[in-house]
Amino acid sequence: MNSFPAGGIAVVIGASGGIGNAIANALDASGHFLEVVRFSRSGTPALDITSAPSIEQAAAGIAARDGKLRVVFDATGFLHDDEFTPEKSWTQIDPDHMQKSFAVNAVGPALLMKHSLPLLAPDGKSVFATLSAKVGSISDNQLGGWYAYRAAKAALNQIVRTAAIELKRRKPNAICVALHPGTVATGLTGPFAKTGLHVQTPEVAAAQLLTAIDALRPGDSGGFLDRFGQPLPW
């Protein structure tokens, strides 16, 4: 993470999940940051991505810390649970499923941007990165299905793009991006990993994502990128 000024604060939201935990551990191991702050629903204070007050409280806690905010990594996301699974047909579209997907995958990250982008260091490089998904690409959609997840991630990509435009006016050195991590062996994607599909460990995915973040420049802000930092189609 040598592209960032030494010291400063890195924040990981969703740090109890597979990718989030691996990202936080890797940031700690880099020794480049004064502090790595981990937030999750099970942490103290708890941060629930669907709760605006908890996001605001977390941001206030970050603002009160010593050190400049250099990295915010949002590793939250929702694909399935005991009640909802990805739709195979429009006959399975359910309003409650759609609302939950948008709440976690789009509205929550938007609120993170609202409260954390103003806190990014005004000088030197700083990055807000959120996990999107290639299935959120509209032009790349060849298979259909997965209505709620696809639509919510497409919305997230638009939110990132829009926030990046405003961020550039306020903090020209700050970067806001959406990242596709590939298929990672976590509870989110595990049940849907097809035979023959390349599945990475969270540790490998974290290393690749952080290498991509380290290579980012202000001109990359607003981008939708894969884990190698390469642009993905909108």
Q: Domains in the chain, ordered, with CATH? A: 9-226 (3.40.50.720)
Q: What percent of the chain has pLDDT over 90?
A: 93
Tell me: the pLDDT tens digits for 75-128? 999 999 999 999 999 999 999 999 999 999 999 999 999 999 999 999 999 999
In angstroms, the CA 234 to CA 217 distance is 20
List pLDDT tens digits, range 126-159.
999 999 999 999 999 999 999 999 999 999 999 9
pLDDT surpasses 70 at 196? no
Number of residues that this document lists for the chain: 234
pTM over 0.85: yes
Q: Name 77's Cβ contacts closer than 8 Å, sequence gap at least 6.
A: 14, 104, 105, 131, 133, 188
Q: What is residue 198's predicted lDDT score, i.e. its pLDDT?
A: 77
Per-residue confidence at 186, pLDDT binned at 50, 70, 90?
A: confident
Q: What is the mean pLDDT of the chain?
A: 95
Q: Answer yes or no: is pLDDT of 194 > 60.
A: no
